[in-house]
Amino acid sequence: MKEIDARGLACPAPVLQTRAALQEAKPAAVKVRVDNPASQQNVKRFLESQGFETVLENEGEDYLVIGRFKEAPMPGEAAIHKKESQAKKILVMCTADRMGSGDDILGKKLMINLIRTLKEMGPDLWRLVLVNNGVKLAIEGSEVLEDLKSLEQDGLKILVCGTCLNYFKLLEKKRVGETTNMLDIVTAMQLADKVINL
């Protein structure tokens, strides 16, 4: 089993270090050691995207991700990816919990209306990315939390910046979406046909 010590590294360095180790050695099993839950989730998602089954453990103050490589994709998985790749991919990036500048009350109302109207984009809406103050839309008490949960249930992938959640001390209050890192966000931006920044 390949062991990777990614403690003390800021996002997205634990994922980048894990990716480099996989490219170098191509191990069948890997154990990645990080020092915070956001990094643990980011590494877990990365390993799963590379075909690994993962288990999360804690050891003292360390967070572990143990991955074993899966041999073959599940039946129908290739068809799902083919169908996904044929759809138009629009990524919406929310960098704040309000729209525009000027009046904050108006800005919050506009953002609430926007989130509640996103479903009108239909299947073209591919990713919703929440960064900086935008992560506050995904936490308990958010006026659009139920709307975001509904969008997620309908198949929208919502990416919520883990560094931002940690900065605002909101990681434990996140109630919707996947805690993510800048590498995932940049990759999604590259794959999108169109990026809408708010």
| Whether this model's pTM surpasses 0.75 | no
Which residues does residue 92 pair with via DSSP β-bridges, in sequence order?
A: 128, 196
> pLDDT tens-digit profile of 101-140?
889 999 999 999 999 999 888 889 999 999 999 999 999 9
CATH 3.50.50.60 fits 2-69, yes or no: no
- Are the C-beta atoms of 66 and 57 separated by less than 8 Å? yes
Confidence of residue 79 (pLDDT cuts 50, 70, 90): very low
- Are the C-beta atoms of 191 and 161 separated by less than 8 Å? no
> For the chain, what are the domain ranges?
2-69, 87-197
Lowest mean pLDDT among 30-34, 95-99, 171-175, 184-188: 184-188
User: For the domain 87-197, what is the CATH code?
Assistant: 3.40.1260.10
Distance CA 146, CA 185 (A): 23
pLDDT for 41 beyond 90: no
pLDDT for 168 beyond 70: yes
Opening angle at CA 60, ends 55 and 64, nearest 5:
25
Distance CA 56, CA 170 (A): 21
pLDDT for 80 beyond 80: no
Distance CA 139, CA 177 (A): 10
Provide mean pLDDT across the span 64-76.
73
* Closest-CA residue to 160 (of 57, 64, 72, 42): 42
